[in-house]
Amino acid sequence: MTSPRRSWKHWFLRHECILLVVLVAEIFLFDALGRKFLTGANIANIVRQSTEIGLLALVMTPIILTGGIDLSVGSLMGLCAVAFGMLWGELGWSPWLAMAGAVVVGALGGGLNATLITRLRLPPLIVTLGTYSLFRGLAEGLTGGTKAYSSFPDSFLELGNGFALGVPVQVWIFVVVAIGIWLLVHRTTIGRSFRAIGFSPEGTRYAGIPVGRRLGLAYAMAGAVAGLAAVIFVSRVAEARASAGVGYELRAITAVVLGGTSIFGGTGTVAGTLLGVAAIAVLENGLLRIPGVPRELFGIFTGALLLLALAAGVVTRAWANRRVAEPKAAVE
């Protein structure tokens, strides 16, 4: 039986716990160096500006658990934002019906990724790199690269700027999606199959698990939530434009990997992803509140965090394999 002391040490050294300590340190640092960091207004601002990236990171988690990647979610956000604007501004749909249409467009985009990956057995990196350009190109082509839709009704703008029970409205949407993804990943056989696919796709097929359908679900779900994130973005900035979501895929992937999900697939938690999202959101907001710090520094830190997280994942994987190999060598 594991001793209480060893259990406590194991818990404290968990990736999520270490990341939580880093997040707390960030908060104290920026509160000391920045201006009006720990205020209600700024906290609400952090939550608002990180909701869309948080949604993308949540649905990226099952994809990376399978050993895949989706580089197209940011571009798909732009296409869904344009689709929403066109459905509302040119076809005369209500904002809520146009919202449903944008989510459907996102699901179709994710379904295209899934079809190419599962039917043609193409690498997810190559497929989503292609659709990254395809979706952004469609968005820019439909708007000429400059046209934007605005003048939305106040009832719709409340979605991205209003409060409900003292909390930004989009937070409630984010919480519902987060709970749904957590239940899917950690409390269902589908979630266990995501990990199994990440460890061994062929072995999973031999076990009778429908790998194609599981991957299709993961990518279509990512597309649908990208459509939802696009609508929230439009409501927050009060404008539907083709540039929505630029660079968001990098931040979402960074949040997932920073949260402890292995880029090779098989291991990771939704809780870790949420902590990764929080760490990146606090870093961005905190740097902008330090006098004299250029905005470009956030991009440098984001790239550095991604590289460090990837390196840590490789080192941890090698260390775990070595620990497994040592007892076998001792027995032989």
Q: pTM of the entire structure?
A: 0.89
Domain assignment present for residue 328? The answer is no
Angle among Cα 38, 44, 48 to the nearest 5 degrees reads 135
The residue ranges of DSSP E strands in 108-247, in sequence order, are: 163-164, 167-168
Tokens found for residue 57? 């990171």
The residue ranges of DSSP E strands in the chain, in sequence order, are: 163-164, 167-168
Domain assignment present for residue 129? The answer is yes
> If you write DSSP's letter for every residue of 28-46 in order, what string do you get?
HHHHHHSSS-SSHHHHHHH
Q: Which residue has the tokens 């594991």?
A: 2
Domain assignment present for residue 58? The answer is yes
The segments of the chain whose pLDDT lies below 50 read: 1-6, 8-13, 324, 331
Domain assignment present for residue 10? The answer is no
Domain assignment present for residue 16? The answer is no
Query: What is the pLDDT at residue 264?
Result: 87
Query: What is the pLDDT at residue 283?
Result: 87
Measured CA to CA, the distance from residue 135 to residue 78 in angstroms comes to: 8
CB atoms within 10 A of CB 22: 15
**CB–CB of 51/171 below 8 Å?**
yes
The total of structural domains in the chain comes to 1
Residue 88, amino acid: W
Measured CA to CA, the distance from residue 219 to residue 268 in angstroms comes to: 17
Domain assignment present for residue 331? The answer is no
Domain assignment present for residue 7? The answer is no
Tell me what percent of the chain is helix, strand and coil, each rounded to the nearest 5: 75, 0, 20
Query: What is the pLDDT at residue 6?
Result: 47
Mean pLDDT, the chain, integer: 87
Domain assignment present for residue 110? The answer is yes
**CB–CB of 194/74 below 8 Å?**
no
Residue 320 makes CB contacts below 8 A (sequence gap 6+) with none
Tokens found for residue 18? 């270490």
Residue 14: what are its φ and ψ, rounded to 5°?
A: -60, 150
Tokens found for residue 191? 């979630």
Instruction: Give tens-digit pLDDT for 25-57.
Output: 888 888 888 778 888 888 999 999 899 999 999
Q: How far is CA 272 from CA 255, 256, 261, in A?
A: 9, 7, 8
Instruction: Give tens-digit pLDDT for 108-158.
Output: 999 999 999 999 999 999 999 999 999 999 999 999 878 999 989 999 999
Domain span at 111: 39-246+263-268
Residue 254 makes CB contacts below 8 A (sequence gap 6+) with 276, 280, 302, 305, 306, 309
